[in-house]
Amino acid sequence: MKVLLDENITQKSIPVLEKYGHDVIHVLDRYSAGESDETVFQLALNERRVLITLNGKDFIIFIPPVADLPLHYGLIWLRGFQVTKKSYEKVMDIIGSFLEIEGDSVKNTYYAMKKNNDSYDIVKRFPVTKFRMVSDPCKS
């Protein structure tokens, strides 16, 4: 999986994700600090990378359901917590494993990662999957 780490994610996360076989770059590998969100998002699109960020609110405006974009490669928003020197490795291990399992199914999808006591949950936020019960036509 190709991954782009936003500026607010420590570069120390790169080897953690790489051990899961991911091709990882950091925004600061390509741009100076303070590059616009639009430019960062365009880099993710151009290189077909899932974007990992702490500032998801700045990026969800570029993707469905807010924007009419036919294809993006996924967004993981680390929401409601800070990635610290102590926690980054655990957080990136969870993401690395998640991306290894999910693979290309993260395309056109946005996830929120939230702290849940001493662990973390990755929750699919868009698209929302709806289940529909269909009555059995053979029963009357």
Alpha-carbon distance of 104 to 113, in angstroms, equals 18
Q: Residues of the chain with pLDDT > 70: what percent?
A: 91
Task: Provide the token pair at 45.
Answer: 């699109």
pTM over 0.95: no
Is the CB of residue 53 less than 8 Å from the CB of residue 35?
no
Position 67 scores a pLDDT of: 84
List the domain boundaries for the chain. 2-126
The pLDDT-based confidence of 129 (bands split at 50, 70, 90) is low
pLDDT at 131 over 70: no
Task: Read off the DSSP letter of residue 88.
Answer: H
Written as one string, the DSSP assignment of 20-81 is TT-EEEEHHHHS-TT--HHHHHHHHHHTT-EEEES-HHHHGGGSTTTS--S----EEEE-SS
